[in-house]
Structure 1
Amino acid sequence: MSQPIALITGATSGIGEATARVLSKNYRLIICGRRKDRLEKLQSELACDSKILSFDVRDKETVFTSIESLPADWKEIDVLVNNAGNAHGLDLIQDGNPDDWDAMMDINVKGLLYVSKAIIPGMVARKKGHIVNVSSIAGLEVYTRGNVYCASKHAVDALTKGMRMDLNEHGIKVTSIDPGLVETEFSEVRFKGDTEKASKVYQNYTPLKAIDVAETIEFVLNRPAHVMIGDLLILPTDQASSTIVNKKSQ
């Protein structure tokens, strides 16, 4: 019996890359992202059978044509990890950049929908599958200057719950993973490449690492058939909420 297949979006860095490395022990992988060079490097380091799909989740037509282009023996996807996401800016709502708003809503919400739409019908036909949506504590709380990013992740929370209801009769599991502060390229993207400002986000406490979230996803996927982890909030010990972090004085 061949290994099950997992498709991971946003696999070029951070949580997506770490999840690919962790799941490579037990899955054939379809790794997806915009940066093909990074996907190729990751593929060369994985000890499993894998395929690369290079696309931007915002591009609806490319999402569908890329996933449709998979060979027949790669189309029966057992696990979908909707990990691609981003934050742009940390502005007050009145100062926000509409281009940043578009990027967050297009990637975090519409991109998740496009990829899910391409894969869910196959899961429904087979009456099995597991969808893991990587959301955020920002999907459960709102914080100052988080406005549109929080809105996009609240949408992911709502979509996850809706998917779970709609797919219940088909035996498909749907899980939301909601991390707090994770040290990845996330803040560098949010601050538009300002590495100094981004690094300060993770100073004076111990944040989560991408591997912590990846291993949590592995745990969720490994539950018995009758067990579904619906929503899982994962925080560093030093974090109590979006705005309460136990930072040590230097």
Structure 2
Amino acid sequence: MTGASSGIGAATATRLAAEGFDVVLAARRLDRLNELASSIGGRALALDVTDQASVDAFAAALDRVDVLVNNAGGAFDANPVEDADLDSWARTYDVNVLGTVRVTKALLPALRASGAADVLFVGSTAGLISYEGGASYTAAKHGVHTLAETLRLELNGEPVRVIEIAPGMVRTDEFSLKRLGSSEAADAVYRGVREPLVAEDIADCIAWTLTRPHHVNIDLMVVRPLAQAAQHKVARET
């Protein structure tokens, strides 16, 4: 599982370990991974999805792969297109899309060899609809959505399920902070929202899709908090 050092990744690793999976946690921050792996009985491996050599070393360290959870990603700005920071765009695309392609491509032979495998993409509702100030992220997540759809077509007839989870508003420690740059701005995203989703909610959805009988493929699961009816429609208490 990529991006396992915090947020949805860490919660999912914990949940899957509790479900009986032998979990391999992968991310750049090995200190965090080692701590989590020790607590859940998993294995930690360093991985930078933007570095092909790192991806190759990661793949070579795995003897068997039954499930790939592509979770590494992130948003790094909230600029309108007119003020686009192209370095931020490139970083967003490299982490969310190209990084996901690198890891998926590297592990597909092992996934096929398992005989009953799963490739799961943690996408976003931003991959289904656009919004102002989100172009770099929505463009990348639309890429992830298309990647999942295309891979499912290409693997049709093979014993590999392709699953996409598309969360809406999820409150985690780092996502909005990294994107907006301050705790105050990050807190404002969720201000007044009764019970935004948390990482454990998405982990629950991921675990459910992966534990269905293997002939059952959950192509796409869109998950929002009750307070969020759509990307632009969020009930806030005053």
Q: TM-score, normalised by structure 1?
A: 0.91
Match of 2:25 in 1: 31
Can you list the C-alpha shifts for 1:23-82, whole angstroms capped at 9, x where unaligned? 002111110011111101111211x3x221112110112111222133xxxx21111000
**Equivalences for 1:38-187 in 2 at 5 Å?**
38-46=32-40, 48=41, 50-70=42-62, 75-184=63-172, 185-187=174-176
Root mean square deviation, CA, Å: 1.0
Equivalent in 211, 219, 224 of residue 230 of structure 1 = 219
Q: Secondary structure at the match of 1:201?
A: helix
CA drift of 1:239 comes to: 0.2
Q: In structure 2, what is the Cα distance between the partners aligned to 1:69 and 1:226? A: 29
Q: Deviations over 1:175-215 (max 9, x none)?
A: 000000000111011013x1111111111112100000000
Structure 2: which 5+ runs fail to align?
none
Q: Gapped runs of 5+ residues in structure 1?
A: 1-7
User: Could you tell me whether the CA contact under 8 Å between 1:10 and 1:16 is conserved in 2?
Assistant: yes
Deviation at 1:125, TM superposition (A): 3.2
Q: How many residue pairs were aligned? A: 235
Deviations for 1:111-140, whole angstroms, at most 9, x for unmatched residues?
Answer: 000110111112223432001100000000
Check the 8 A contact 1:108/1:152 in 2, yes or no: yes
- Alpha-carbon distance between aligned partners in 2 of 1:226 and 1:55, rounded to the nearest angstrom: 31
State whether structure 2 residue 16 is matched by structure 1 residue 16: no
Deviating 4+ runs (over 4 angstroms): none
Aligned AA (1:84):
A
